């Protein structure tokens, strides 16, 4: 299990350390912490989050080292011993959604990526953002769908797919609920308004 980082001062991901991460072994807490490149979050070896892909793991001797490399502390295991402020945590969740809203996203998947519980994430997201994570995702998708309807001639079903909905009737229903018109009517209105 070799670490692919080229920096000489990087702590290598040995088989022993990898086993400690997989086993959530608290005996290794304080010896190192690990960061996951794809999420930008770092954890204690004992963190109960889903095991990361070994290729995305980077090890640090301390939480301070991970922080200096712009990784954020896990909300679940709190490797710094301090709690991340809710607004910072939710900003990182919103950024995660912004980069993936066209993919299938569930509250469970978001909570896993953010290293928190689904219930706590839902409640905190609504408190900070004024809407639930699902509502935020739906707004992002509708915004993209409106852009695609204005700027392309794609069929409505394809617009829905590209915006993140696999189910066309659900896309049409939700689009109408959020905009007051169906996707087809929205497109027609945009054509008339541009003349």
Give the Cα separation of 30 and 33 in Å (integer): 7
Angle between helices 86-100 and 133-151 (to 10 degrees): 40
Question: Could you tell me the two tokens for 140?
Answer: 């992002």
Known catalytic membership, residue 43: yes
Give the Cα separation of 21 and 13 in Å (integer): 10
Among 43, 47, 74, 77, which one carries the catalytic annotation? 43
Question: Could you tell me the two tokens for 172?
Answer: 């049409």
In the beta sheet, which residues pair with residue 57?
Answer: 36
Give catalytic residues, as residue numbers. 43
């Amino acid at each position: 299990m070799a670490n692919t980082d080229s920096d000489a001062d990087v702590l290598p991901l040995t088989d022993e350390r990898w086993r400690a991460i997989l086993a959530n072994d608290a005996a290794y807490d304080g010896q190192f912490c690990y960061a996951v490149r794809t999420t930008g979050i770092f954890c204690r070896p004992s963190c109960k989050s889903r095991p990361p892909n070994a290729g995305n793991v980077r090890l640090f001797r301390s939480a301070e080292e991970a922080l200096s490399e712009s990784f954020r502390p896990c909300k679940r295991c709190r490797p710094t011993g301090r709690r991340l402020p809710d607004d910072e945590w939710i900003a990182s969740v919103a950024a995660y959604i912004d980069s993936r809203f066209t993919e299938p996203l569930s509250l469970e998947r978001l909570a896993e990526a953010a290293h928190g519980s689904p219930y706590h994430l839902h409640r905190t997201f609504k408190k900070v953002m004024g809407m639930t994570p699902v509502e935020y995702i739906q707004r992002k998708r509708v915004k993209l769908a409106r852009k695609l309807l204005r700027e392309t001639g794609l069929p409505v079903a394809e617009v829905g797919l590209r915006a993140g909905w696999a189910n066309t009737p659900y896309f049409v229903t939700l689009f109408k609920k959020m905009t007051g018109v169906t996707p087809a009517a929205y497109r027609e209105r945009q054509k008339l308004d541009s003349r």
